[in-house]
Amino acid sequence: MLLLLLLLLLLVRSGGHRVVIVALLCLLNVGCTQTGKTRQPKQQQTTGNQDTACPACACGLGGTVVADALDATDSYSNTLRVIGGNATDTQPYPWMAALYDNGSFFCGGTLINDRYILTAAHCVARLKPSTLQVYLNRPNIAELNTDAIQRRVARIIMNRYQALRNNNDVALLLLQRPVRPSAGGIGVPICLPTSGTDDYAGRMATVTGWGKTADGVLSERLQQLPVPILTNQQCRRTGYYRFQITNKMLCAGYLEGGRDSCTGDSGGPLQLAAEPSSPDSRQQIVGVVSWGNECAQRNYPGVYARVTRFASWIKSNSRGACWCS
């Protein structure tokens, strides 16, 4: 700038009035450009992963298991089950996700839209997205079927998880690529709870997962177990201390023991029919497998993160995803 002013002074003294005018216009950025330094307008940055349109789809609709969907070698003895449950396929639960860290299975999760998996915070609190893989339509965690869906994780989103109290035990996993439902029912997300509904006491729900069975080892085949939902007041009168059961939790299970979700089921869904009177009603996720006093112990039901208390957080942290109606 100083050099330009000196130049102008010399030009004025030499009588170069036209040059002076052009130089003044340059100072005002009018009708003058600098070679190689032309300023370009800023462009909005894009991630390259956003879809322009969301296809129409329906959430919470699973298929049915045909007779030959399970191997002939599958045993239905308690030693091959979620404690007290029975083997199933992923066809009735297409939203059921198996989470792997560096190739090893460690927790369950649930597909809630085309880009996000809902799981438990304690499952992923100390993990890195770069080491995680998510599988859908993989009923046997020991075998990789050809039609399984595999996705890498781009980001882990936590919600003020309180490890000492097991509170706010939910997390979202952003997938690197979207999952779209197929004509065969693969990749269908579960529905979130109906708005305004929070009281499920007395209803039967189903927990699914690959957790430890009665013999203390992880089940290779996906398991399912129907469990009754308790009120929080009932749960606080069990073997748990009253302060342990917060309003962000939900209890489900059998007070006599013997049937329960267990280690390895963590992060998976507690699901029930939106319309209990209809056998074909859509399934909605009401709980995320969280914690308990060991597994299937008398007077200690399973404790789940209550999804209704996190619905607004889930939606606000999964903007840009495609939701099924």
Positions marked catalytic: 122, 169, 266
CA distance 221 to 105: 12
Distance CA 32, CA 163 (A): 62
Kind plus residue range of the DSSP H or E element containing 224: strand 223-228
* CA-based nearest residue to 86, from 225, 204, 290: 225
Spatial separation of the C-alpha atoms in residues 108 and 190, rounded to whole Å: 14
- CA-to-CA dists, residue 143 to 59, 146, 147, 225, angstroms: 27, 10, 12, 22
Distance of alpha carbon 127 from alpha carbon 101, whole angstroms: 8
Structure tokens at 77: 């003895």
Distance CA 219, CA 202 (A): 28
Identify which of 179, 129, 138 has the alpha carbon closest to the alpha carbon of residue 321: 179
> Which H or E run contains 8?
helix 2-14
Q: What Rg, from alpha-carbon coordinates, does the chain have?
A: 28
Of the candidates 307, 233, 324, the one whose C-alpha atom is nearest the C-alpha of residue 272 is 307
Residues 6+ apart with CB under 8 A from 79: 213, 214, 215
Nearest-angstrom CA–CA distance, 121 and 158: 6
3-state secondary structure of 129: helix
